[in-house]
Amino acid sequence: MDEVYLRMDEAAIAQARIDALVREYQGKLARYLRRMVGDAEAALDLTQDVFLAAFRMLSADPNRELTAGWLYRAATNGAISYMRRKKILRMLPFDREIDRGDWRLDERSAESVDLQAALARLPSDQSAAVLLTSYAGYSSQEAAEMLGTSADAVRQRVCRAMRILRTILAENRETR
């Protein structure tokens, strides 16, 4: 692979590296972001933004190391600022429902709905903590590095998220 790179110009190296990143992470990041913002279309836009930021960074320095952690961190920041903007939007007179999540039929299982209901009630940092760990598969230490906090803080956020999810499951058991 490196030999091929030698004959490529810097832009081509950046392009090749970004292509590989996109292939590997596009699904993971998009699914993570869809859970974070609860809207597939917004998740796709945010995922694109992450890869464009990565692309710009690699264009400037094609040999720079770019980890999954960087991608998830950028994705998390993007999702948090998206949620902030959405909050402002609720105050504006827009009549169209903007967060219509088009979830696939085969994904509308009870678990999926329960998880999304819990995430909708959580502050973004807690959503990010639980999604980066049990959902995306990172350890609390790795998630802590992405979120710029400590592993214990991540564990505590996961616990708070778990508590909300537990409440929702209990509510559903009563109504079902």
Partner 1 sequence: MTRTDCARAETLAGAIALEEATDGERDAYRRHLSSCAHCVETLGGERDIERVMSVVARARDQESWEPDLRNALRDRSRGRRGAWTFGFGLAALAVAASLSVHLIAAGTMRPIALAPQSTVAAVDSAFHVNLERRSQPPAQVVASHPAAHPAAIAAQPIHVTHNVVAVAVPAANPKPAKAQTVRDAQSSAASTDPALVAALPPSERVQGSISSMQTQSAAPVYSHQAESIAVNPARSIVVRDVAPVGGTLTLPNPPSIAGREMAAEGLSRATATYALAVDERGTPIACQIQTSSGITAIDESVCRAAMRAKFTPRTVNGKPTTSIYRDAFVFVAGASSEP
28's tokens? 């993971």
Could you give the CA distance from residue 35 to residue 119 in angstroms, rounded to a whole number? 8
Site residues (CB under 8 A) for partner 1, limited to 8-37: 18-19, 22-23, 26-27, 30-31, 34
Cβ proximity to partner 1, 5 vs 26, nearer residue: 26
Give the per-residue contact string, 71-90, with partner 1 (x = CB under 8 A; - = no).
--------------xx-xx-
Residue appearing with tokens 């998740």: 43
Minimum distance, C-beta of residue 126 to partner 1, in the bound complex (Å): 11
57's tokens? 């960074």
Could you give the CA distance from residue 173 to residue 176 in angstroms, rounded to a whole number? 5
Give the per-residue contact string, 101-130, with partner 1 (x = CB under 8 A; - = no).
---x-xx-x-xx-xxx-------------x
Q: Which residues contact 22 (CB under 8 A, 6 or more apart)?
A: 51
Site residues (CB under 8 A) for partner 1, limited to 36-75: 40, 44-45, 47-48, 51-52, 55-56
Can you say whether the dihedral through the CA atoms of 70, 143, 81, 24 is positive or negative? positive
Query: Is residue 149 close enough to count as binding partner 1 by CB under 8 A?
Result: no
Could you give the CA distance from residue 136 to residue 143 in angstroms, rounded to a whole number? 10
Query: Is residue 96 close enough to count as binding partner 1 by CB under 8 A?
Result: yes
Question: Which long-range contacts does 151-157 make (Cβ < 8 Å, 24+ apart)?
Answer: 154/129, 157/125, 157/126, 157/128, 157/129, 157/130
Minimum distance, C-beta of residue 137 to partner 1, in the bound complex (Å): 9
Query: Interface with partner 1 by CB under 8 A: which residues?
Result: 18-19, 22-23, 26-27, 30-31, 34, 40, 44-45, 47-48, 51-52, 55-56, 85-86, 88-89, 91-96, 98, 104, 106-107, 109, 111-112, 114-116, 130, 133-135, 139-140, 152, 154-160, 162-163, 165-166, 169
